[in-house]
Chain A
Amino acid sequence: MMTQNENLIHFLFRLGDNSLILGQRLAEWCSKGPTLEEDVALTNISLDNFGQARMIFSHLAEVENNRKTEDDYAFRRNEREFYNALIVERPIGHFGDTIARSFLFDAFQYHFYKELTKSNNEFLAALAAKSLKEVQYHVRHSGEWVVRLGDGTEESKEKIQKSINDLWEYTGDMFTTDAKIDALTNDGIAPDYNLIKENWVKTVEEVLYRATLKKPEDSYMQNGSLEGRHSEFLGHLLGDMQYLQRAYPNAEW
């Protein structure tokens, strides 16, 4: 028998991990951006994501009532205990790969948080209101880059189209739900993922059209993240991220 609390905990892991892992990926761009301005923009978005993750993990500890800290959640869990969508753990690749991933995911986050503002859970509604302002900027930033790269040079068009094509099979997983999340949706706590998907498709189609790019055909979609099944890439990301906490478990930083 699932309780609402268990469902909420599961949902909070999903949200917190999405932000944490994307934040960590974007931080990899520090000192590697194509311009100084873009370096700062990507790491700003990384900081917003870490901010969201911290807010969510702090609340998670209250809900779990287990005296854990935000750092316990980030640094002391294994691969199979992470519930982020598969797309956020993809390696950063070249700038086009990063932008394509960001756009596909930011568009999701935007519509997700927009719906989540209506949640009857007070924390989630407040988180959504705060995060919506941030992700609105994120999707504008990544969307404008998709347009610039798509409608830029032949080389950039080819690159960004390939990036989008390559990432497409990971987009289905963003919208996947399970019995726990469905129950929360029924209770008015989690948003309606079908509606988010409809809105997401509209945003993606509009931006790809402006970018003179083709929307990939829906084919096989990867999945498994809600059960903690990930790509091999996540373990390496965690290896870096958790190194000090794991190597010196008794130290405080």
Chain B
Amino acid sequence: MENATMTGQELFDHKIENDLKIEPKDWMPDDYRKHLQRQMSQHAHSEIIGMQPEGNWILRAPSLRAKVILLAKVQDEAGHGQYLYSAAETLGKTRDEFIEELQSGKAKYSSIFNYPTLSWADMGAVGWLVDGAAIVNQVSLQRTSYGPYSRAMVKICKEESFHQRQGYEIMAHMARGTEEQKAMAQDALNRFWWPSIMMFGPHDGDSPRTGNAMMWKIKRETNDDLRQQFIDKTVGQAELIGLTIPDPDLKWNEERGSYDFGEMDWDHFWDVVKGNGPCNKQRIKHHIDAHENGSWVRKAANAYAEKNG
């Protein structure tokens, strides 16, 4: 029952209630727009900063096949960053403004990328766990209420599930390899497990923005629900390749039909969010350096385009 007499707010509410998508030209509440700008740019920044920890192993990949797979994967992330910046730009800010917010520290990116990648097994752990966690979140976001974001998610999810399989393949291969490889695989799981399950964010009760985001159908499932889905599907995958999830409290709960798990270290989580993770400064510096080193190139390209129409 959309009709010409509805106000912007009424039309917006009607669309949200009926699971219709909000499109860039539609009226939307300021807070809805701001929430999306923050979330979508953070998502884009995560793709771009996420290139660094994996980029760290491209030159040292142990086979040519592994090298091209990893390089292509990191390129996909650059591509995801591009779609997401474009989708976020439909909300009225430019990519340059978003980048400025990233570099000044005003905008965040996923804290998982503030951990170092210390062995080849980390390429497995990042694909399997980090992309695995991202997929759970992104699958849910395919149903988000903002049209351009939802469509970007559909496109990205297809590639991400491929990445996750590649990561798991590396882990599986190392877990059945030499003793040293197996140790590397377990060590990678030990280091990435807790940060991965904290990627979903604080418990629902401690997540102040969840309420609005759920009401507006930007988020379709809560942090704790998504985390539980991820844990439930990952525990069996670890067992299958003979690796141990580093959580002594992890056990199957027959009644809930889900795994119970130990409490996460939220003080540590907030330390990393606030900039004190092992690689926060390094990641931003790398981004700023690349941006500044490219400045003369971008200026030249602009000057050339102006001269040559």
Contacts and interface: CB of A to CB of B under 8 A. Distances in A.
Interface of A: 24, 27-28, 30-40, 43-44, 46-47, 50-51, 53-54, 57, 70-71, 74-75, 94-96, 147-149, 151-153, 155-156, 159, 240-241, 243-245, 248, 250-253
A47 B71 contact: yes
B177 A24 contact: no
A153 B303 contact: yes
A85 to B, nearest CB: 20
B286 interface: yes
Given A31-B74, A152-B304, 11 more contacts: A33-B290, A37-B82, A39-B78, A40-B75, A151-B307, A152-B303, A156-B297, A243-B60, A244-B120, A250-B178, A253-B66
A95 B293 contact: yes
Contacts of A241: 59-60
A251 B177 contact: yes
Contacts of A27: 58-59, 67, 71
Contacts of B48: 31, 36
A33 to B, nearest CB: 7
Q: Is the interface of A mostly helix, strand, loop or mixed?
A: helix
Interface in B4-62: 48, 51-52, 55, 58-62
A43 B71 contact: yes
A38 B55 CA distance: 16
A32 B181 contact: no
B75 A44 contact: yes
B82 to A, nearest CB: 6
Contact of A148 (B81, B180, B301): B301
Contact of A28 (B59, B78, B177, B297): B59
B145 to A, nearest CB: 27
B68 A47 contact: yes
Given A35-B294, A153-B300, A253-B173, A46 B71 contact: yes
B299 A152 contact: yes
B75 A43 contact: yes
A30 B74 contact: yes
B253 interface: no
Contacts of B74: 30-31, 43
B147 interface: no
B59 A24 contact: yes
B154 interface: no
Nearest to B52: A31
B303 A36 contact: no
Highest count of chain B CB atoms <10 Å: which of A31, A39, A95: A31
Contact of B82 (A24, A34, A36, A96): A36
15 contacts: A27-B59, A30-B58, A32-B289, A36-B48, A36-B78, A37-B82, A46-B71, A47-B72, A71-B63, A96-B297, A151-B304, A151-B307, A156-B296, A244-B61, A251-B180
A244 B299 CA distance: 40
Contacts of A74: 64
B308 to A, nearest CB: 8
A121 B298 CA distance: 44
Contact of A155 (B62, B66, B293, B300): B300
Contacts of A39: 78
A117 to B, nearest CB: 25
B202 interface: no
Interface in B155-208: 173-174, 177-178, 180-181
- The 7 A-B pairs with the shortest beta carbon distances in the complex, nearest first, are A34-B294, A152-B300, A156-B300, A253-B62, A244-B62, A34-B297, A31-B51
A218 to B, nearest CB: 28
Contacts of B246: none
